[in-house]
Amino acid sequence: MKKCVVIGVTGGIAVYKALDIISALKKKDIDVRVIMTDSATKFINPITFQSLSNNAVAVDTFQEIKVHEIQHISLAQRADLMLIAPATANIIGKVANGIADDMLSTTIMACKSKVIFAPAMNTNMYENRIVQENIEKLKVYGYGFIEPGSGRLACGDIGVGKLADVSDIVERVLVELKNKEQDLVGKKVLISAGPTIAPIDPVRFITNRSTGKMGYSIAKEARDRGADVILVSGPTNLPTIKGIKTIKINTNEEMKLAMLSEYNDSDIVIKSAAVADYKPLEYSKEKIKKSEGGWNLVLTRDSDILRELGERKSKQILVGFAAESNNVIENARTKIHKKNLDYIVANDITASDAGFGSEDNRVTILSKDGETLNLDKMSKSEVACNIFDMILRKR
């Protein structure tokens, strides 16, 4: 059954961003219902929201769409989550003080599901002591908040008050809808992600095609399950994940030092990074000038971080990845024993529709005691979920 998100849209200049939120949630096959305040309709016509959500938009408490329903009650009962975006100082103040005088405020009051506010307003308004006290009051009552960003506001002021990024809002909604069992609370999960680089000279280096998407998906999954997450990330184009301590590195040596510094008190360690196995034998401090003829680059082996983690393992559950182009399962089985792993995630890097750079992956998870889990093509988030499900099922 589809999840239902009721979005309350209030009268702020950021109202147009609610359209992007709705569009993104619809793409996730979520049933979106919209309630607009009268002020919001002065910015955007309700028909626009109706077209995007494919549902009638509620505005007036006394204009019931179905005579056998009390609309604000039926919407409150239908909602798996309520999101107020943008949330003005007015709606925050109303709810904080028990005022229910329009369709949106009455629905919020009647809603027993999680309600999250995404504030957006002028800096001076947001920092006003009354607004801040209202926000703190609502937090005590269990209402959620997505903190606004900082920058240039529509009024020309610069400061805090911008509606949070649409991607952050959508991610928060999806996390809440997952309603995951918090089965990693109290656990420290250490994850490596992305590529490393092996410098040749000040402008050249050796690297690989890893984008970090798999490792970042694993980090998000661990966070959503309640873990204390440390992410050691090579250079990627991915945004930093909120709620996760991220250590940025470049080289194999930097990743090794970062992993070892967090290793001893970690409970689960997942090394999904694609680390450079070789590095130039000699590094040139000056740019190597091109010349006539060829150029022989001599390489030497770099550290085997996963093997070193396996040698130092005590209480940790250690998970490795095997990106293979042939004999995928056989090579993965060899690696799991050679490097003292508890699990290994094997994938075929020759697949054109999954793996490096893709949003999807197709993997086989193997355990040291012989269990095998074959996962057909699915999102990297789903792969991450399966990894933790398998680990926790066997504990």
Residues marked active site are found at 155
Run of H or E including 282: none
Closest by CA position to 384, among listed 375, 372, 371: 375
Q: Is 31 annotated as a binding residue?
A: no
Rounded to whole angstroms, the Cα distance separating 216 from 272 reads 9
CB half-sphere exposure, 170, CA atoms < 13 A? 18
3-state secondary structure 163-222: CCCHHHHHHHHHHHHHCCCCCCCCCEEEEEECECCEECCCCCEECCCCCCHHHHHHHHHH
Rounded to whole angstroms, the Cα distance separating 233 from 248 reads 5
**Torsion (CA) 16, 21, 24, 28 in degrees, nearest 10:** -150
Q: Are strands 81-87 and 114-119 parallel, antiparallel or unpaired?
A: parallel
Rounded to whole angstroms, the Cα distance separating 129 from 118 reads 18
Q: Is 277 annotated as a binding residue?
A: yes
Q: Is 335 annotated as a binding residue?
A: yes
Query: Residues 58, 65: contact at Cβ < 8 Å?
Result: yes
End-to-end CA distance of the chain: 31
Amino acid at 256: K
Distances, alpha carbon 393 to alpha carbons 7, 126, 313, 371, 388, in Å: 36, 45, 21, 12, 8
Amino acid at 388: F
Q: Is 289 annotated as a binding residue?
A: no
Instruction: Point out the annotated binding site for CTP.
Output: 277, 287, 321, 335, 339
